[in-house]
Amino acid sequence: MELGFHTIHFSPMFGGSAPLLDVLQATADSGFDAVGFDLASLDAHVAAGGTVEEIVTLLADAHLRCSDVLVLAPGGGDPDVLATARRLAALASELGTDTCIASVAGPVPWNTLVATLGECATVLSDDGVRLAIEFTPYSPLSSLRAARELCEAVGWERTGLVLDSLHFFRGETPWSELTDLDATQIALVQYSDAPATAPGMLVDESRNARLIPGEGDLPLTDLVTALYAIGFDGLVSAEILSEPFRRTDPAIGARRAHDALAEAWVTDAAG
C-alpha cells in the first residue's frame, strides 16, 4: 500500500499560504511515499520565482513519487477544459505521474460531458496519463454509480475512479456498489474523517472541515476492510481539507496525517 499527501492541503485555492517547497519537504520527512500537486499551488510557486525543475529535483532527492495532478473541472467556468488537459498532461509528464483528477464542477449535459472528458482522456493518454474521475454528493456527478457510468462511457482503458471516503459516506453509497468494483477501476483513494452527522453545507465541510482519520466518527475501518477485500492495493492519499489544518505547520500536519493513514492502512490491516 502506497501512502500519499497533497499540496492541496495548503493550496491558495482554499486560502492556504505555506510555501510549496516546505509542504514537499514536510511530506518527505513524514514518511509518505507520494505527493500530489494542484495547479494553484504550482502557479503560486512559479509566481514567487520558483521553478518546476527544482520541484522535480526535490522529489528525486527525497525519493517521493508524484501521485497525481489536478484538476480538470468541466462545468466549473474553465473557458477551455481541453487546454487545461493539455497543460496537465505536460505537467504530469514533467513530474512523472500517470494520474490526473477530474471533478464535475457544474451542470453539463451528459453527452457533452462524455465528449469533453473523452477528448481530455485522449490528450492525457497520449502522455500515458489516466483520467481519475471523482464523484461528490453536492455536484452533478453525485454518486459512485454515476461516476462508474461516466468511466464506462469514456472508456475504462483511459479512466478510473477517485474514491473519497467523505464523499462515499456523505453520498450514502450502498456497500454493494463498492464491493462490486474491480480493484483496477479505482485510480486512488482519498482518505479523511468527519462527524457522523452531516452538516447542512456539504461543500463547506468538504473544503474546510474535514478531520484527520481517527478523529471523527465515520466507519473508516469498514471502508478499509471492504477495499482490501476487493484486492485494492494502490495509492491512499490524505485529503484533510480543513481551515484549521491549513493553519498548521506543514511539518506537523503532514506527520499527523501520515501516522493516521499508516495506522489505518498498515498497522490495523496487518493486525
Residue 266's pLDDT is 86
Return contacts of 204-208, CB within 8 angstroms, 24+ apart: 205/166, 205/170, 206/136, 206/138, 206/166, 206/167, 206/241, 207/14, 207/241, 208/14, 208/241, 208/242, 208/243
pLDDT of 270 above 70: no
Q: Please compute the mean of the pLDDT values over residues 98-111 and round it to a whole number.
A: 97
Q: What is the CA radius of gyration of the chain?
A: 17
Per the omega criterion (within 30 degrees of 0), is the bond before 108 cis? Answer: no
pLDDT for 129-151, tens place per residue? 999 999 999 999 999 999 999 99
C-alpha grid cell, residue 17? 499560504
**Full residue range of the structural domain in which residue 36 is found:** 2-270
Residue 265's pLDDT is 96
15 within 8 A of 44, measured Cβ to Cβ: no
pLDDT for 161-207, tens place per residue? 999 999 999 998 999 999 999 999 999 999 999 999 999 999 999 99
Give the burial string for 259-268 (b: 16+ CB within 10 Å, else e). Answer: bbbbebbeee
How many whole angstroms separate alpha carbon 23 and alpha carbon 19?
A: 7
Residue 24's pLDDT is 98
How wide is the angle at C-alpha 230 spanned by C-alphas 203 and 139, nearest 5°?
20
Residue 259's pLDDT is 98
C-alpha grid cell, residue 244? 484549521
Confidence category of residue 269, pLDDT binned at 50, 70, 90: low
pLDDT higher at 118 or 267:
118
Q: Give the CATH number, domain containing residue 28.
A: 3.20.20.150
For the chain, the average pLDDT equals: 96
Q: Please compute the mean of the pLDDT values over residues 152-161 and round it to a whole number.
A: 98
pLDDT for 208-229, tens place per residue? 999 999 999 999 999 999 999 9
| CA-based nearest residue to 167, from 142, 191, 136 | 136
Number of domains in the chain: 1
124 within 8 A of 158, measured Cβ to Cβ: yes
Residue 267's pLDDT is 73
pLDDT of 268 above 70: no
Confidence category of residue 119, pLDDT binned at 50, 70, 90: very high
